[in-house]
Amino acid sequence: MASFGLHQRMASAPHIEERAGCSSRCSPAIQGCWRTRVHGARGVATASERRRVVSLRRSAASTDVVCFDDSHDVKGRQAAAAPPAVDKVGVLLLNLGGPETLNDVKPFLFNLFADPEIIRLPQVVQFLQPFLATIISTLRAPKSAEGYKAIGGGSPLRRITDDQANALADALKAKGQAANVYVGMRYWHPYTEEALEHIKRDGVTRLVILPLYPQFSISTSGSSLRLLESLFKSDRALKQLRHTVIPSWYQRRGYVCAMADLIVQELGKFQDVPSVELFFSAHGVPKSYVEEAGDPYKEEMEECVRLIMEEVRARGFNNSHTLAYQSRVGPAEWLKPYTDESIRELGRRGVKSLLAVPISFVSEHIETLEEIDMEYRELAEGSGIRNWGRVPALNTNAAFIDDLADAVLEALPYVGCLAGPTDSLVPLGDLEMLLQAYDRERRALPSPVVMWEWGWTKSAETWNGRIAMLAIIVILVLEATSGQSILKNLIWAE
C-alpha cells in the first residue's frame, strides 16, 4: 500500500517501525525535526528549521532512514512486507516542457499560466484561472513566438530530455541496475499523465521520481509533484506503487564537479582568465514565494553557487563571481539582483570579460539559447563588456548523467520510506509528506503577471478598451451562430 496520509499520522500519533536499513538511533532526531515543521506557527519551515534538519541529517550515519507506518493498517503492513513477484524499477524524469513548433506556443503558455502553482488565486476566485490563462497566453504568445523563431522554430527541450532519459538508462544498466526511464513534462507533451500510463502499463513496482531541476522550487519541482500527488490519489493502481522522490540534488558531488568542469573549460577560451567575471544566472521566482510560502529555492541556489565556486577555486581559479536572477515578468518584485541590472552594474564597474553560467538549467532551451545568448549578450556588449562567453547546459554530459544514475541507485533502498541520506534542504521522501513539509497552507500569492490596475490609469484605459472589444466580439459571434440580432434586442428592450 502506498504511504499516503503520512502527514496526518505524524501529526497525531506517529508509529515508527524499524525495517531493513532503518536505524532507531536516528529516528527521534529526524522525527523531532519533522514535528517542528508540521506544527510550526505558519506551517512553513523557516530557514533555521531547514538548517537544523540538514545538520541532524548530516550527523546521522549514511544508512539511517525513518519509515512511518500506521499500526492499524494491517493490510498495508502485510503488503509492504511481501515483495512483489517481479521487481521492476522505473525512473520518472520531470521537466517543464516546451512548444515544439510555433503553433504550440499559445497552448503551451495557457497550460503554464493555468497552473495554480504559477498564479495562485484566492479560493473564491479560482474559477477565473482558465480565463486569466487565456488572456495572458493570448497577449504573450506573439512575443514568445518571436523568441522560439529565433532559436529554430521551437524548443529543443523534449529532444534533449529524451536523450537524457536514454543516457540515464544506459548508465544504470552499466552499473548493474536495469530500469525503464520515463519523461513527464508539466506543460507539454509528453505530459506527466502520459508517462504514468506507460509506467502502469509496463508494470513498474518501484519508482524513483527525479525532477530535472537541481534546486527545489514551488514553481518547478513543487508544481510537478503537486500534480503527481493528485494523480496518485485518484488512481488505484498508482496508490499501490511504491515510490520515492529526489526533490533536489544541487549539492551532489558529481553535479558540482560537472559544472566546475564546464566552467574551467570555458575560462580557458579567454585571453586574460583572472579578469573574467563568473556570472551565474538562475531562473527567478517571485519574492513572495520565498518569504510567504517558505520556498527553499533561494537558499538552495546560493548554497549551490557556493559549492561550485569552492570546486573552481580548488582547481586554481580565483575569479570573482555574481549570482543574479533572470526571466522575471510583470511589476511584482522577484528575487534580486536581476540579471539585466547586474550586467549593467558590472559594465559600470569596468568589467570587460564575462562568462555566463546558466545555473538552474540542465538542458538548453529558450532561456539559455535566446534570453542569455541573445538578449543578455547584446545588453552586456552595450554595457561595455567586450569579451563574452557562456557555459553550455549539461545536457547529456557523461559525468552529470553518471551522477544522476548514482542518485537513483542511492534512492532505491528508501522507496516507500520517509527519507534517506541527503544534504538537501528538502529531504528525499514520499510525495505527500514532502509537499506537506513546505507551504502547508498554500496561501494565495501575488500573481507574477499583473493583469490590470484599478483607477484612471493608462493600464485601466487599455483594459477597458480590450474588455469592450471582447464584449462586442462575443455579441457578434452569438449573432452569427443564433441568427438573431442580439445587439438590436438589447437596445430596444423595454
**DSSP calls for 425-483:** SS--B-HHHHHHTS-TT------SS----SSSSHHHHHHHHHHHHHHHHHHHHHHHHH-
What pLDDT is attached to residue 116? 87
| Strands 68-69 vs 15-16: parallel, antiparallel or unpaired | antiparallel
What pLDDT is attached to residue 442? 56
Single out the residue of 213, 254, 186 nearest to residue 401, CA to CA. 254
What pLDDT is attached to residue 436? 66
Percent pLDDT > 70 in the chain is 67
What pLDDT is attached to residue 488? 45
Render 394-430 in DSSP notation, one character per residue.
-TT-HHHHHHHHHHHHHHGGGTTSSB-S---SS--B-
pTM, two decimals, is: 0.76
What pLDDT is attached to residue 485? 53
Single out the residue of 210, 205, 129, 203 nearest to residue 164, CA to CA. 210
pLDDT digits (tens, 9 = 90+) for 337-389: 999 999 999 999 999 999 999 999 999 999 999 999 999 999 999 999 999 99
pLDDT digits (tens, 9 = 90+) for 106-119: 999 999 999 988 88
User: CA-CA distance, 394 to 407, in Å (whole number)?
Assistant: 16
Question: HEC profile for 256-317?
Answer: HHHHHHHHHHHHCCCCCHHHCEEEEEEECCEHHHHHCCCCCHHHHHHHHHHHHHHHHHHCCC
| Residues of the chain where predicted confidence (pLDDT) is lower than 50 | 1-45, 53-81, 449-463, 486-494
What pLDDT is attached to residue 118? 84
What pLDDT is attached to residue 55? 46
Render 97-155 in DSSP notation, one character per residue.
---SSGGGHHHHHHHHHT-TTTS---GGGGGGHHHHHHHHHHHHHHHHHHHHHHTTSS-
Q: For each of the domains in the chain, give its residue range(s) and CATH number, in order of start.
A: 89-100+155-249+398-439 (3.40.50.1400), 253-390 (3.40.50.1400)
Residue with cell 477565473: 128
What pLDDT is attached to residue 19? 34
